[in-house]
A and B are shown apart, each in its own frame.
Chain A
Amino acid sequence: GAGVSQSPSNKVTEKGKDVELRCDPISGHTALYWYRQSLGQGLEFLIYFQGNSAPDKSGLPSDRFSAERTGGSVSTLTIQRTQQEDSAVYLCASSATHEQYFGPGTRLTVT
């Protein structure tokens, strides 16, 4: 079946611009996660959605980062006023139980 999909696969933006990254989880998965992967910091948790519960935002690095999950399915991660240190691969994962399945990621480059 279809896995987790993310778009765009690559995004180049100028410092100070806003960006939106999209994640389509596996159908029926109630949990959705965003992580960031960078050379210096490795894999970092950003935010976690579980069903209709309030999201766990404890990993968001600043208030420039936000995420929504509409209708319990698709999620959008928004980064406002991008900075060069936001350059990374943004990974989305979804799960029905405890096993998290990852998408291919969006590579964000801030110039």
Chain B
Amino acid sequence: GEDVEQSLFLSVREGDSSVINCTYTDSSSTYLYWYKQEPGAGLQLLTYIFSNMDMKQDQRLTVLLNKKDKHLSLRIADTQTGDSAIYFCAETVYGGSQGNLIFGKGTKLSVKP
């Protein structure tokens, strides 16, 4: 079945870049997403990439997609303490553009001042 894998923890210094990696198994996924979850809060949609793209940039966020290796990454430039949160990678299932998401277990990003 579908599966999404992420490393569980990442620690960086304020001002550095953070790179969070994800691998997925469903090659038919149409969209891949990054969500952010702060303590006690719901999931905030950060960005997404369409499967026929290999890069998307949105302000401090850069998403890279390697479809051959089924590898997705999220780079946060100039990481701030407010970026400390859990980041979830997710893929759509059934190859469609709607339908449920499959999530990774989340990467906890800690930003040290």
Complex partner residue of B100 from A42, A59, A97, A101, CB under 8 angstroms: A59
Q: Which residues of B contact A4 (CB under 8 A)?
A: 42
B73 within 8 A of A: no
Pairs across A and B, CB under 8 Å, 8 listed: A4-B42, A31-B98, A33-B100, A35-B100, A42-B106, A43-B106, A56-B99, A98-B98
Given contacts A42-B106, A43-B88, contact A101 B99 (CB under 8 A): no
B residues bordering A, Cβ < 8 Å? 30-31, 33, 35, 41-45, 48, 88, 92, 97-106
As a 0/1 sequence over residues 62 to 94 of chain A, the CB contacts with chain B under 8 angstroms (1 = contact) are: 000000000000000000000000000001010
Complex partner residue of A99 from B45, B88, B103, B104, CB under 8 angstroms: B45
- From residue A67, how far is it (CB to closest CB) to chain B in Å? 13
- From residue A13, how far is it (CB to closest CB) to chain B in Å? 20
Complex partner residue of B98 from A42, A45, A95, A102, CB under 8 angstroms: A95
Given contacts A42-B105, A42-B106, contact A98 B41 (CB under 8 A): no
Given contacts A42-B106, A45-B101, A48-B99, contact A100 B30 (CB under 8 A): no
A57 to B102, CA, bound (A): 15
- From residue A84, how far is it (CB to closest CB) to chain B in Å? 22
Q: Is the CB of A104 within 8 A of B100?
A: no
A105 within 8 A of B: yes
Q: Which residues of A contact B41 (CB under 8 A)?
A: 104
Q: Is the CB of B102 within 8 A of A45?
A: yes
Give the most central of B31, B98, B99, B106: most A CB within 10 Å.
B98
Q: Which residues of A contact B45 (CB under 8 A)?
A: 99-102
- From residue A23, how far is it (CB to closest CB) to chain B in Å? 11
Q: Which residues of A contact B33 (CB under 8 A)?
A: 100
